[in-house]
Chains A and B, each alone.
Chain A
Amino acid sequence: MKKFLKALPVWIWGILFALLVATFFSNDFGLVDLQKTALVLAAGIDREEEDFVLTAQIALPAASQSGGGASMEITGRGATVADCLSEIHARTGWVPKLIYCDLIVLGESATVNVFDGLNFFLRNEYIPDACRLAACEGSAQALLSSASAVGDTSAIALGTLFSDAAQKSGLVMPTTLREFAIGTFGASASGYMPYVRAVPQEEDSPQQGGQTEGGQSGQSEQPDASQQGGQKILYSAQETALFAGGSLVAVLTPEETLAFSLLEGNVYAGTLAADGATYLILQDSGAVGIGAPPDMALHVDCTLQRCGENETSSPEELPAGTLSAKEEERLSELLTGYLASLWETCAQSGCDLFFFRRSLWRADPKEYAAWKDVPLADLSVRLSASVKSLR
């Protein structure tokens, strides 16, 4: 070290000293100025003719009455998503920081050629590819601007809907930007994301604090920002939007979403309702088999326990919750019907949800070349579900 210090001429020391002083007094080169930084929690994309409308939900450093985080929504318009962000910057003076953006919502108008807008997020190295994607009824701007009944910030309420726990219930099939991009740019050119509907909470509703209105969400009307006023909103993401070639082609019903979730083997402690009884799904394994084309097999195996009924049971029957052989058969038929409906929706819409073409490509590129243009509806598919009772 001494040799090093002695051997350096004075002018080099001068340069080093100047560099250190510049670094020290640079205010971190003006990099982080919290007063001028907008932490974007969620982004909503809508289209207006050729233009994009980007709604950024921004975290505010103010505590809210309910203890959650406060937020506000700012909208920018432009020819590209980057243009929209520039407009937000120009209007507010805040630099939108997207590293904490955990959710991207696509409004109805933005569900055609979704990567026109998503490419910005995919390309930008300061945006996590792990952020969740969702499509919504109506506009993404209205959805993000709505006042959630379970929290102050719609993005946080929606994030809760896409949690691992929600996924295990089988009610929702969340996806990330990375997974969706891999599916879309792969051989199958298909993907999926949850389809969100906003459900106004009735003033006199007994439901409070986080209970959702599952099952009826498909019939609710989409409120827009002007209609909502101070009304609290609940969100339902039990449906799943299917995409082929980057555009929305169909929406799966909650039953089809459950079947898809069971096929993926995601469900643990979810419930299945049938014939006035409710069953707890204790174990689930699904399999998508692809044989010599055109042969495909979708199979689900579940172990269920009866956990609720709409009639009185004797105390002796209550603890066991076992299913009779007839119930097992009936539920197997029900799930097979869900699978059939799921396959029908995929085949009709052209969404290769089970990555049939990708599997073919990986197994044998020649077979893939022969079958890649064959419509999914022409494939022979075997569907089966096997329900077993907890013993």
Chain B
Amino acid sequence: MKLSSRQVCFFLAAVSPVGKMVLLPARLAETAQNDLLFPVLAHLLIQAALIFCVLLLSRRERTLCALVKGAAGNAAAKIVCTLFAAFLLFAAFLPIVEQKIMVRSIFYDTLPAHLVFAPFFLLSAYLASRPLRTLGRMWDILAPLFVLGMAGILVLAAGSCDLGALSPAGAAGAGAFGSGVRITCAWFFDSALLLALIGHFPYSKGLAWKGTLCYLGGGALLLLFLAVFYGVFGEVAVLQTVAFARISAFFSAMTVLGRIDYLFLFALAFVMAFFAILPLQEAVGTLTEAFGTPRLAPLFSVGANVLMLAAVYALHFFPSGSVAAVTQTLFWIFPLFTALLPLLLLLLFGRRPHEKIS
């Protein structure tokens, strides 16, 4: 059984935006101040174009490994897939660190013990050992939860939001825009996530357009969220490290009803947990396919998760430093695999002469 095109659209519209709602808003507010929407808009447009390219590639209905193997042989496929899996492992670090920060900040009312996040890797190890086709059912469940959670927190935050805080547009300047784009590269690797899935879903007519529009739809929601976030916090937005969990706490009826926003926060946190595991799952899937050893998927999964657990806890007391290393020092790795690789593959395996794009 393969993923369906509906499920791919669900992923693009309703799962991929959640990865950008934890640390990104505050980091971006620090760099681009009230112009924080523009760097994200630039990334969304670039990613939408890349997703269109990847979906065109998916018309071959062959996996990344099969595509490279067909063109350059088995050894090249193993090298490319190993590099790509290593990138996915690297890309998984930030979402998992965000997940840890979020769990420690919003699920506890005082500073919890260091190990409270460790059981997350049990779930991660199990999921990452599952074949990629199992993602579909997950996305069928996660998409409505995302819509519910997002709608809930945005409605609760609307009353305390002053969108005038986003004015004057462009005041931060081109330098801030450039820095904003640079430091947010680490959050926009959706085209790479989709690249790992090609060949696992059939290409239906118009999927390239539909998928791109779905991604832009999810991106529009993300922009709305960022606008509301800055509208709620304005000049103190830089202090709000777990952005999505903070904006809805000012709803006036909360004093009577209690923290009803937690219902929506839990829904979003649930989606985030699966999003954080996705790069690991894809890395394991890519490796097992490249080496033709699906039976060893559980071992690869445990290995990847132990590695990740060790990295996350080794850098436990360097949260800002480790996030800065990924977002500011090593940011250039992301365009290599999210833009260069898909474009190169499209050049090699893209449209053939006299072939129509449907």
Contacts and interface: CB of A to CB of B under 8 A. Distances in A.
Contact of B236 (A31, A122, A164, A365): A122
A120 interface: no
Nearest to A12: B302
A9 B299 CA distance: 8
Interface string A285-296: 000000000000
B122 A185 contact: no
Main secondary structure of the interface of B (DSSP, over half): helix
Main secondary structure of the interface of A (DSSP, over half): helix
A125 B241 CA distance: 8
B254 interface: yes
Given A125-B242, A362-B167, A365-B168, A4 B298 contact: yes
Contacts of B295: 3, 7
A19 interface: yes
A96 to B, nearest CB: 9
Nearest to B162: A182
B112 interface: yes
Nearest to B300: A7
Contacts of B109: 97, 99, 126
A182 B165 CA distance: 10
Interface in B102-144: 105, 108-113, 115-116, 118-119, 122, 126, 129-130
Contacts of A125: 105, 241-242
Interface residues of B, number: 41
Interface in B150-175: 160, 164-165, 167-168, 171
B246 A29 contact: no
A7 B129 CA distance: 10
B259 to A, nearest CB: 9
A133 B174 CA distance: 38
Given A185-B236, A186-B235, A128 B249 contact: yes
A4 B110 contact: no
B113 to A, nearest CB: 3
B194 interface: no
Nearest to A6: B298
A164 B252 contact: yes
B233 interface: yes
A227 to B, nearest CB: 33
Given A16-B122, A99-B109, A125-B105, A29 B167 contact: no
A259 to B, nearest CB: 22
Contact of A129 (B108, B112, B164, B246): B246
A182 B241 CA distance: 16
Given A3-B295, A8-B299, A128-B249, A182 B236 contact: yes
17 contacts: A3-B295, A3-B297, A4-B126, A20-B119, A26-B113, A31-B113, A128-B249, A129-B246, A130-B249, A130-B250, A130-B254, A178-B160, A178-B236, A181-B235, A185-B236, A363-B168, A364-B168
Across the A-B interface, give the 3 residue pairs with the lowest CB-CB distance, nearest first: A29-B113, A7-B298, A362-B167
Given A178-B233, A178-B236, A182-B236, 15 more contacts: A4-B129, A7-B298, A31-B110, A126-B111, A129-B236, A130-B249, A176-B250, A178-B232, A178-B250, A185-B235, A362-B164, A363-B167, A363-B168, A365-B168, A365-B171
